[in-house]
Structure 1
Amino acid sequence: MEIKWLSYVPIYLALCEEKSIAKAALRLNCSSAHISRQLRQLEALLDTQLIQRTTRQFNLTYDGLEFYKQVKVLFAHAEAINEGLDVTNSVYGKLRIAASASFGSMLLSEHLADFNLSHPNIELEVAFTETPLDQIEQGFDVAIYFTETPPEGYVGHYIRHLQCQPFAHESYLTNNPAITHPLDLLDHNNIIYRNSEFTLDKWCFINQTTQEKTNIILKPSMSFSLVTVMTEAMIKGCGIAMLDEMALSHLDSDKRTHIINILPDWFTPNRLPLYILYPKRKHLAQRTSLFVNFIRQKFDKTNEY
């Protein structure tokens, strides 16, 4: 049986993932007019509207989104089969990655460069964002985010947890009351992390010697959705920030010397596991599998933070 719409799928995938006719045309190295014509023909073949488009809006209809999800899986299977038959054993194509803006750049920048050097035929398209997204709907192959558990329909490989401590710059501590107990934090300026999904203002502190537990809710004087901005505000002496050591690891030695762990005799339990995520599929594209295994091996071999 002839599947008349099959040849239109690469263009449709590009449209859905680029969310622009012009960008899809650029990606496929063809004209915008050709893209528009192909979309009209595909919608006519399927007898349904796939995309609602105006001069300013580009949105998938319900049918358009469902069709995208199915053909995305279909092409992933086709690519896996094609790669299996490739006698040269070369791996190529585009790999779309979404990662936490706060920690992704710190954790991944070196590893992404190493992967590119090892696999130059794989084009990496990386988006750093703090906005949670539907990987399938947005067309990403892999996502690297903090989540308590992998979402339904996704495979998740654990990378690490956050292990946060209260840090402040010497200049702030010099001009403010001393801190000897977690409850003292309630009387200070606190810089906290907040995004659309959660706020890191509730903390449990445990004394390493006595095992005393203290639960507190920090009242923020400032809140940010980027850890780099939190860190900069803390360095400027604006207050105390609950940070993982990773957030400080890229500071030069002069700046790092003046940053103090205020409560070294206390620790906080692990928070927010970081996962590398990808949609569950029977056939995983070889480039996706290569990248996932590469990143997992990098973190298995190192305990940098």
Structure 2
Amino acid sequence: MAAVHPALAPYVRSVVAYDVAFAGPGVHIGMPSTGLTFVLPLDEPLTVAWDGDPASRTVGWTSVSGLHTTAAAVHHGDHQRGIQLSLTPAGARAVWGVPASALAGRLVGLADVAPVLADLPERLAGEASWEARLEVLQHALLDAVRRHEAPSLRPEVARAMALLTRGVPVAATAGDVGYSRRRLGTLVHDEVGVTPKTFQRLARFSRAHARLRRAALAGEVSVATVAAETGYADQAHLAREWTGFAGCSPTEWLRREFPIVQATGEHHGAA
């Protein structure tokens, strides 16, 4: 995880430089979230498609996707290196000059959304160290933000999205910001391309995914505990949502992504 420049903090949630060796070719599950994904592979083009939809497959030196409710199937060989960013909805306007809604449910290349940045993969490939690559990337992002002079989200829309992210019901969120549910739905959809309820579900799912991932990295996990900690009614509720968004159950996801971890139900269990 690389540090995010303060001027980019409203637009970039995370920057991760990755260098991963696999046991062999396979498919990584790209999980839905409330962020937009921006990937810059280094050694070979990235092959990605929406899970279950081979026609959506793209191959390229960049991958850009908006908010989505279907997992991405990211194909890999024995080794992958690159940089992956997660952008906020405001980051779509600031970095690419388009609203997040324009990219909802789409997989595209960087040249399709921001041609001025099309040479970024070549510039990164020309650097010999991670430090140098990250510096090139940071300068490119800062230049993009200055170039677009992206306006901030309307304060009431930004507040509504923050409330939805925290799990405040849609009706209560609409009342808090002084809108009808219909008006709030229009404004949120215009900004991110999904309804307020879907945005809220994505936020809750993203919390559960992050919590389960941390538990898996620690070598033990309880799906029931994660469900309770992240706002689901019970483990079955989490399992239904997880299957809908990820295309598999939490236990199957753990088996595929963390094969040495043993998932448990009502208690913590070590691998």
Q: Give TM-score, length-normalised by structure 1.
A: 0.23
Which of the two has higher C-alpha Rg?
A: 1
Q: Which one has a larger percent strand, Structure 1 or Structure 2?
A: 1
Q: Which has the higher helix share?
A: 2
Q: Larger RCO: Structure 1 or Structure 2 (Cα < 8 Å, ≥ 6 residues apart)?
A: 1
Please give the TM-score of this superposition, normalised by the length of structure 2: 0.25
